Amino acid sequence: MSTKTLRKRIALVAVSALGFGLLAATPALAATYTATHTLSTTSLTVVGTGTTSNAGLFYVDTTDDAGDKAPLFSSESITVSVVAKPTRADGTATAFADLTIGAAKRSTIGASFTAPTLATAASTSSYQIPNYVAATAFASSALNTSATASATSSRYYFGVYPTNTTALDAGEYTLRVRLVDANSFTTDKTLKVKFVSSAADSGAVITVVPTGTFNTGGSIVFTAAQKITATLADANGGRIQSGISLTGDINSASPTITAQIVNALGAVQDETTESDAGVAGEDMVASTSTTAGVVTDYALSQENNGTYGITDATITAAAAVDNVIRVRYGATSTEATLVVYATSAAIDGKTDLTLTATGVLAADQLIKSDVATTTAYTLPTSAKSAKLRINIDNASNVAIADQPITVKTTWSGNYASASVTPVSATTTTSNTDASGNIDLTITNTAPLAGAVATVLITGYGYTAGTSRGVVAGSTTVTLTWAAPVATTITVITQLHL
């Protein structure tokens, strides 16, 4: 290699190294303005009479140009204005000034809204923040429900109520929510709002979803494995609220719905309890996060969110496949099938499991008795089929025959849908055999490392002191496929004679 060529190569290496050093040293640009704003809903129907005590509330979340939740920057503003009005059926003239708009702040769960300190009073047709005081006076927590970062004060609540009775039962007004950022760029979002004096005119849409197994004599609780939810929305898919004042109790804004278990003859069997208060076991499953503040913030996010939990201390309805859970609000009545099984003496903590599959560890082929809430198995990728035997016992550890038990299998991870059975999210209810067993066959004809089959078992009763928790529980079993690994090594020494 010539000296000239060698010098060129050395120079290129030096320049490359210098370039990488420069790239690594480049700092991230700091956020400088609010890039987007998001509304809590695009439609709001408020039920009630009166004016100042009949407000509907919504919020605006702000995000900076780095994509992070962040409060308004200096010189930025949000203005809510009435930009369209309805035509009343009775011919009474409507006006933008029919609505009054103001600001509110939210704090702890179950607490009332508060007025921003030193802020201007609510005004007709339009309201801007900040006004006279900094934007921080209007900011509430945007809530940190899953992230590791702390919650930011980047949520701004607005309330709107009728200035006079002309707005009641008039139809939909349109609000424009305008963000002017630090660069004087304007972004608009719109929100439809109407005020009705009767829930019957709210245009309510109710969606009811039962999850899990329900037994005569058992309870309806709110857990991941067993719950009934009812979602209340207006005709546009937005929120329905009961009117409150701008400093009213947030739970008073949740409309009162009713729910009942009804048999095939139309006779009411159970009166249930309905809640949208953000309480674990009533309308939400508590967060298990260990990040500070997330548990509380998650509960706050579930309070008054339009999704109700329906609970029942004791189901009195007889076992039947044609019972329904009926939910009503105003003039809307929605039903969902609620299969109720016979009384269950099965106890979650008395469940025994046996797995049969090629290549699993010897210890995993033994019966696992009185298992915990979750039991994990590992299968080699050479195993294309597994049989899981589930043995159901009562509080005395005696096997129960002919007991209905529900099993749901869900696939996740590295798997091909066409290669597995049962199909993901398949739910079956079977009666135990004479020995208290239910056998579940799980196949994966093209197994890959990382495939996971999760089996959720429900249908238990509850016995204090014997059940795992304070309600009828569930049992979860996971089957995870992994690449085979050597478990023993045998060294054979060759003898030379």
What are the tens digits of pLDDT across the range 44-85?
A: 999 999 999 999 999 999 999 999 999 999 999 999 999 999
Is residue 192 located within the same domain as residue 221? no
Residue 20 in this model has a pLDDT that exceeds 50: no
Predicted pLDDT at 495:
56
- Same domain, residue pair 247 and 394: no
Owning domain of residue 96? 34-199
Predicted confidence at residue 1, as pLDDT, reads: 52
123-124 and 205-211 strand pairing: unpaired
Question: What pLDDT is recorded for position 146?
Answer: 83
- pLDDT recorded at residue 496: 60
The verdict on residue 416 lying in a domain is yes
- Mean pLDDT, rounded, for 248-265: 96
- What is the pLDDT confidence band of residue 6, given thresholds at 50, 70 and 90? very low
Query: Measured between alpha carbons, how far is 315 from 244 in angstroms, rounded to an integer?
Result: 35
| Residue 489 pLDDT class (50, 70, 90 cuts) | confident
For the chain, what is the mean pLDDT?
Answer: 91
In a domain, 278, yes or no: yes
Query: Could you tell me if 143 and 59 are in contact, meaning their C-beta atoms sit under 8 angstroms apart?
Result: no
Give a yes or no: residue 1 inside a domain. Answer: no
Which of 138, 171, 199 corresponds to the end of one domain? 199
Q: Are residues 193 and 276 in the same domain?
A: no
Does residue 167 share a domain with residue 58? yes
What is the count of structural domains for the chain?
3
Do residues 260 and 356 share a domain?
Answer: no
Cα(410)–Cα(423) distance, integer angstroms: 8
Are residues 164 and 261 both part of a single domain? no
Strands (DSSP E) found in 167-321: 173-180, 186-196, 205-211, 214-215, 227-233, 239-242, 258-262, 268-271, 273-275, 307-311
For residue 46, the cross-strand partners are 195, 241
Same domain, 451 and 303: no
pLDDT in tens, 183-225: 999 999 999 999 999 999 999 999 999 999 999 999 999 999 9
Same-domain status, 328 and 228: yes
Q: What is the dihedral of CA 241, 243, 247, 248, to 10 degrees?
A: -80
Residues 116, 169 within the same domain: yes
What does residue 350 show for φ and ψ, rounded to 5 degrees?
A: -105, 15
Please state, as a whole number, how many other Cβ atoms lie within 10 Å of the Cβ of residue 421: 15
For strand 77-84 and strand 43-47, is the pairing parallel, antiparallel, or unpaired?
unpaired
Measured between alpha carbons, how far is 471 from 462 in angstroms, rounded to an integer?
6
Q: The domain spanning residue 45 has which CATH number?
A: 2.60.40.10
Strands 34-39 and 56-64: antiparallel
Paired tokens of 132? 């006279």
Secondary element (H or E) of residue 77: strand 77-84
CA distance 389 to 391: 6
**Helix or strand run (H / E) with residue 378:** strand 374-380
pLDDT at 149: 75
Residue 388 and residue 452 in one domain: yes
Same domain assignment for residues 45 and 179: yes
pLDDT of residue 14: 42
Please indicate, yes or no, whether residues 474 and 353 belong to a single structural domain of this protein: yes
Residue at a domain's end among 341, 371, 402 = 341
Query: Residue 9: what pLDDT?
Result: 47
Residue 86: pLDDT band (50, 70, 90) is very high
Out of 341, 369, 390, a domain closes at 341
Share of the chain above pLDDT 90, in %: 83
pLDDT in tens, 333-385: 999 999 999 999 999 999 999 999 999 998 999 999 999 999 999 999 999 99
Stretch 86-110: mean pLDDT, rounded? 93
Question: Is 495 inside a domain boundary?
Answer: no
Q: Domain containing 383 — which CATH number?
A: 2.60.40.1930
